[in-house]
Structure 1
Amino acid sequence: MAEAPRCKHNLSGRQAGAVLVFAVIALVTLNLPDYPGGFSASAFLHLPIEIPLLGLALVLLPRRMALVLAALATFAIGTVLFLKLGDIGVQSAFRRPFNPYLDLRIFADGWNLFSGSFGAMTAMLTVAGVIILFVGVLVLFFLSMRPMAKAAGKKARGMTWVFSGLLAVGLALWAAGAATGTRTYADARASTYIVNRVHAVTQAMRDMQRFDRALAESVSLPQTDTLFQAVRGRDVVLIFIESYGRSAIEDPLYAPLIELRLKVVGDELKKAGFAAASGWSRSPTMGGLSWLAHGTFLSGLWVDNQARYDRLMTSHRESLNRLFREAGWRTAAVMPAITMDWPESAYYGYDTILAADDLGYEGEPFNWVTMPDQYTLSAFDRLVRHTGDHRPVMAEIALISSHAPWTPVPEMIDWSDVGDGSVFDEQATSGDPPAVVWADRERVRRHYIGTIDYALETVGDYIARFGEDAVFIVLGDHQPAPLITGSDASRAVPVHVISCDAHLVERFEAEGFTPGMIPSANAPEPPMDEMRGKLIRIFSEPVQPR
């Protein structure tokens, strides 16, 4: 029997394999969700029209032009994949899209946190594996397009029919969805995604121009002889508690523990002669990038991205620290998380900078956390407040025990036993490592709130015991990542003002603060950039008799 003739449009095995690899990589990349909650099987049941259009172009163009197009398509797919992976990571941590113009430094900060928590070797192998996988996908994608770009004559007809059929199906699905108002199973949204990203970058550039104008604006300040007159002669201590957000007080998972802690702290402070008032302030960041919150609070400008922060650091805008120094205070920064050079410190105007190596801690680190908060405050008291210099201190302290990975959870000891910190070695080496804790989401949450509880206990006890006549502003820098708070949490953080001067504290109550250590749920959430001006105004009002 004679053999039946083969259809002249059949694909060869090599061509079929190339088309399949090309389609799978393009389909997965272009349909990849750009936020963590978007992952589902249905997310990938969608035909990007760009796939058959690109396939037809590769088959129909002359060979050299097709190969150039294949290279450009590989670059485009790589760009989309990079941006979407960036979106997923940034959305997971900070609940906003990734912007390459503003966020490239995130990779360096992520490396510092990851390597500090899981070890440099683990971090290096993980990063190397991700890079190799990423490059491998792009190489495979380019190689899958070469048979299409080199096809000619009858060899190209099969692929032409395949991509023409896909295009016809895609256009029909697109039209049907648009006509019926139902879900569209095909469209050109991948191209829209790229256009939106380009638009976001141009918007960021224009935003920087607006920020430059804000930096250049003059700021009205009280007269020199009245500046900070209400707190003259007293230490003013600004304490940022890492990842201490509104959710710690109001989320049902955390409220029972933290509300009780705040009530205990409030009673302890009251017994020691302190008054307190608490409110909310909306942070420019969440999940990390604490320095954006510090810069916003101290400059009085909204610093919600790295580009703005970098520009602020080179500006002549006077920080709150520098204003206190000019008014006669000794200014100090206590930064236990700083383990490298810190050129940005020049902007703030500190007389004294105590980074991790300057605090004299001889104990073991708590994974990424270099030292527990109790040691940080003990060192601050010894190295800054009681040095024999009788000028008042204006200090900024960034506590870090409540920084991820939240393991192990520190415990307070007697202040007289703190010493050089080696007493904390047993705590620092106890408990499970981050990889074990982070394998259980509920356990991560328990560890997180445990560190917040510890930080509040430590700060409250320090103020009650050693606060003397100082004025304390204690606040969170930002909410933790959505893993801890959920995806719809407020960006607000608690702000506590604590002083033995009840009249001074009452001024904050007149601004919407709630008496005590627990802010009212109905209190306003002004942005953090307003705090600088509010402090200057309240601290510069005429002194009330004590």
Structure 2
Amino acid sequence: MAAGRDLGAGAAGGGFRSAALTILACATLLVAPLIPGALGDEGPGALLAVPVESIAVVVVLAAVPHRLARRAVAGVYAAIVVVAIVVAALDLAYESTIDRPFSLAEDGGSLVSAYGVVSDAMGPVGAASVVALILAIATLVGWGLAAAALRVGTLVAHHGRRGRGVVAAVAATWIVCSLAGAQLVPGAPVAASRTGEALVESSSRAVTSVREQEAFERALAADSLDPAASGDLLAALAGKDVVIAFVESYGRVAVEPSGFTAPIERVLREGDAMLARRGYAARSAFLTSPTFGGVSWLAHATLQSGVWVDTQTKYARLMTEDRMTLSSAFGGAGWRTLAVVPSNDREWEEGEAFYGFDAVLDARNLGYRGPSFGYARMPDQYTWQAFHARALSGDDGPVMAEVDLVSSHTPWTPLPEIVPWSQLGDGRVFASQPEEGESAVAVWGDPQRVRQLYADSVAYSLEATFSYLATFDQSDLVLIVVGDHQPSRIVSGDDANSDVPVTIIAQDPAVFEHIESWGWDDGARPSATAPVWRMDAFRDRFIDAFSP
């Protein structure tokens, strides 16, 4: 009798486990294919639906007699759903940072750059751990989906007519809800195909990318400037050093009053006062950047080349062109041209081949021996001093340079502090500063703190620039300070546009006579009504203003 009771308990326990696994499998098939919709515009309400993908795979599995064939069907289904979830997650990540969905055709290469930013913020081990965790989760989800589909499909086949009747009832309910447009949550239909929609939208973006690429090709062919005819250009700037300083993440949000921009307002106000004391003047406006939240090189290429470069594919295509850039125009007119790229640690072939720079100064040859500050391998203050010592302190003729200021690069922590210029040396004076900063991982859980650190970082970059001008008097300098893009949505907000400030600073009044017709605002801070140009318009307008 005891043995009989034990056997009955074991059978009951086995039945309970089997029922629990079946319920879990059904829940997996109901929820997992809806995740792409939940990650998109519909939000969590997208989970209150019935996915047609799961109905279809159960029907097929119930009809397929061979075990290997069923496993293949379940594997394909799981792979499709996992790919759709990954695409939706990438869409969410890209939209929250650079304000557009992910495109495999355009953004495959930028994933490598994104990994580099994560590695700079978290360290190589932390970044590798994140990637490993993502791969493990994707594998586990795929395995779980395949197992769930096999279990439910086998169960339906085992119950014969009754099982097929249940599936038919579910399918009929889906069709009725689809025809009726039934919604439990506004904007989220009950009859859903979130996985299919995600993949269709991704494919549609690929088609759109092809059409945009064709328009880009026409824009390249329509260039009115001849790369071989730069000798008589820019004559009004003869003898002057011209520097384009890109300030990382310096967007319109930085110069608009808000609860976190007080440090930037202070630096710009004090900077204007310093410029007036030192005999400088400034004019400011806005440029509309082709990128948002990141991918800075698209903005650099757009401003330099005079063509709209808003994707990696267009950038790669542009790099193969013999097109006049601002730097090559100055080089052809007799200037010595330099690129200062402090976070680069490898060869940059495009610097000479496309942009026409005579030399590139970067992490390998700027002589910095201090600590890194996240992505920024050296503070902007050191970048200014090293550039000045290597480019502007001699008598080798006028210089045209692009200087990249990267201390305000996301994640905006840790941040350096201004030190006396006489103490900069090789940068070891900054040795203790990174440890005094906050952890990027901890900070990004607090959106308000992220905004405050963003403002602090931009304020630092601008303060380093104004301090450089105050320390090294340069009567023949024409400095163009421009943002590359707005910061990510966590700072900019959902309604922010893609405008960035641009300011021209010089001591010679003749410089501003040439751009008087532009109508730019006085001072280093553009007003809300300042002119707005597309960034690709700057090259031609600048060359026209200072050429015969």
TM-score (norm 2): 0.90
1:367 alignment partner AA: G
The CA distance in 2 between the partners of 1:539 and 1:247, in whole Å, is: 30
Q: Who is 1:113 aligned against?
A: 117
* 1:236 positional shift: 0.4
Q: 1:128 to 1:255 in 2, by over 3 A?
A: closer
Q: Counterpart of 2:201?
A: 196
Q: Determine the C-alpha separation between the residues in 2 that align with 1:36 and 1:245.
A: 26
Kept in 2: contact 1:285–1:293 (CA 8 A): yes
Q: For structure 1, which segment, 52-61 or 453-462, has the greater mean C-alpha deviation from structure 2 after superposition?
A: 52-61
Whole-angstrom distance in 2 between the partners of 1:224 and 1:366: 39
2:428 matched to which residue of 1?
422
Matched with 1:249 is: 255
Cα contact 2:40–2:88 (8 A) shared by 1: no
Q: 2:85 touches 2:195 (CA, 8 Å); kept in 1?
A: no
Mapped to 2, the partners of 1:374 and 1:386 lie a distance apart of 16
Q: Which residue of 2 aligns with 1:300?
A: 306
Amino acid in the other structure paired with 1:352: A
Alignment of 1:82-97 (within 5 A): 82-97=86-101
Deviations 1:221-240 (A, max 9, x none): 69655410110110000000
What is the identity, as a one-letter code, of the residue corresponding to 1:410?
Answer: P
User: Letter of the aligned partner of 1:301 in structure 2?
Assistant: V
Tell me which amino acid in the other structure corresponds to 2:205: A
| 1:475 pairs with 2:482 | yes
Query: Counterpart of 2:225 in structure 1: which amino acid?
Result: S
| Equivalences for residues 201-216 of structure 1 within 5 A | 201-216=206-221
Contact 2:327 2:356 in 1 (8 A): yes
2:497 equivalent in structure 1: 490
Deviates more, 1:170-179 or 1:231-240: 170-179
Take 2:74 and 2:256, find their aligned partners in 1: how far apart are those partners?
Answer: 53
Are residues 348 and 36 of structure 1, via their aligned partners in 2, closer, same or farther at CA, if it must alter by over 3 Å? same
| 2:414 aligned partner, one-letter code | P
How far does residue 405 in structure 1 lie from its aligned partner after superposition?
Answer: 2.0
Distance (Å, rounded) in 2 between the aligned partners of 1:431 and 1:196: 42
Cross-structure match for 1:174: 178
Percentage of matched positions with identical amino acids: 35
Q: Which moved more, 1:146-155 or 1:205-214?
A: 146-155
Deviates more, 1:171-180 or 1:200-209: 171-180
**CA distance 1:22–1:329, shift in 2 (3 Å):** farther
One of 175, 186, 189 as aligned partner of 2:191: 186
Which deviations, in whole Å up to 9, do the C-alpha atoms of 1:124-175 show, x marking residues without a partner? 1121111011012112212222345556865344442332222222223333
Shift of 1:362: 1.0
Q: Which residue of 2 aligns with 1:5?
A: none
Match of 2:137 among 133, 139, 142: 133
Partner of 1:539: 546
Structure 1 residues 211-220 or 234-243, which shifts more?
Answer: 211-220
Unaligned runs of 5+ in 1: 1-10, 542-546
- Tell me how far 1:181 sits from its aligned partner: 12
2:532 is aligned, of 520, 525, 544, to: 525
Aligned positions, number: 529
Match of residue 58 from structure 1? 61
| 1:349-368 alignment, distance < 5 Å | 349-368=356-375
Once the two structures are TM-superposed, the CA of residue 13 in structure 1 deviates from its matched residue by 7.0
Distance in 1 between the 2:178 and 2:126 partners? 46
Task: Kindly report which structure 2 residues correspond to 1:229-378, keeping only aligned pairs within 5 A, or say none.
Answer: 229-345=235-351, 346-378=353-385
Report if the CA contact (8 A) 1:27-1:44 is conserved.
Answer: yes
C-alpha contact (below 8 Å) 2:284/2:503 kept by paired residues: yes
What secondary structure does 1:398 align onto?
A: strand
Distance 2:157 2:439 in 1: 62
State the shift of 1:219 in Å.
2.1
After TM superposition, list the pairs within 5 Å mapping 1:442-461 onto structure 2.
Answer: 442-461=448-467
Q: What is the alpha-carbon distance in structure 1 between the residues aligned to residue 133 and residue 152 of structure 2?
A: 30
Contact 2:249 2:483 in 1 (8 A): yes
- Number of the residue aligned with 1:4: none
SS in 2 for 1:331: strand
CA contact (8 A) 1:26 1:77 kept: no
Q: Taking structure 1 as the reference length, what is the TM-score of the superposition?
A: 0.90
Structure 1 residues 373-382 or 168-177, which shifts more? 168-177
State how far apart, in whole Å, the 2-side matches of 1:153 and 1:135 are.
27
Residue 417 of structure 1 deviates from its aligned partner by 1.6
Which residue is equivalent to 2:441? Answer: 435
Aligned counterparts, 1:214-229, within 5 A: 214-220=219-225, 224=230, 226-229=232-235
Counterpart for residue 49 of structure 1: 52
Shift of the alpha carbon at 1:364?
1.2
**506-515 or 175-184: bigger deviation:** 175-184
C-alpha distance in 1 between matches for 2:165 and 2:184:
28
Q: Distance in 2 between matches of 1:431 and 1:277?
A: 34
Deviation of residue 188 (structure 1)? 3.5
- Structure 1: how far apart are the matches of 2:370 and 2:444? 24
- Residue 148 of structure 2 corresponds to 144
Change (3 A) 1:129 1:188: closer
In structure 2, do the counterparts of structure 1 residues 504 and 137 end up closer, same or farther at CA, with 3 Å as the change threshold? same
Distance 1:13 1:158 in 2: 22
Question: Could you say which residue in structure 2 is the equivalent of 1:74?
Answer: 78
Secondary structure at the residue paired with 1:475?
A: strand
Find the aligned partners of 2:371 and 2:256 in 1 and give their Cα distance.
33
Please list the CA deviations of residues 3-38 of structure 1 after superposition, one character each: whole Å capped at 9, or x if unmatched. Answer: xxxxxxxx9975873574255255233343475775
The 1:340/1:37 distance shift into structure 2, 3 A limit, reads farther
Structure 2 Cα separation of the partners of residues 468 and 274 of structure 1: 8
CA deviations over 1:370-414 (Å, ceiling 9, x no partner): 11100000000001112341x100000000111122122222122
**How far apart in 2 are the matches of 1:44 and 1:151?**
24
Pick which of 296-305 and 117-126 moved more. Answer: 117-126
8 Å contact from structure 2 (residues 299, 309) kept in 1: yes
Moved more, 226-235 or 178-187: 178-187
Contact 1:313-1:347 within 8 A present in 2 as well: yes
Q: Distance in 1 between matches of 2:157 and 2:142?
A: 28
Task: Give the Cα separation in 1 of the matches to 2:285 and 2:31.
Answer: 49
| Distance (Å, rounded) in 2 between the aligned partners of 1:18 and 1:35 | 26
* Structure 2 letter corresponding to 1:105: G
Alpha-carbon contact 2:234-2:547 (below 8 Å) kept = yes
Change beyond 3 A, Cα 1:277–1:247: same
Match of 2:200, as an amino acid? Answer: V
CA deviations on 1:33-68 (whole Å, 9 max, x unpaired) are 47577543x231122233223322221344465444
| Partner in structure 1 of residue 11 of structure 2 | none
Deviations 1:293-322, CA, capped at 9 Å, x for gaps: 101110111111111111111111122111
Query: Cα–Cα, structure 1 residues 22 and 151, in superposed 2: closer, same or farther, change >3 Å?
Result: closer
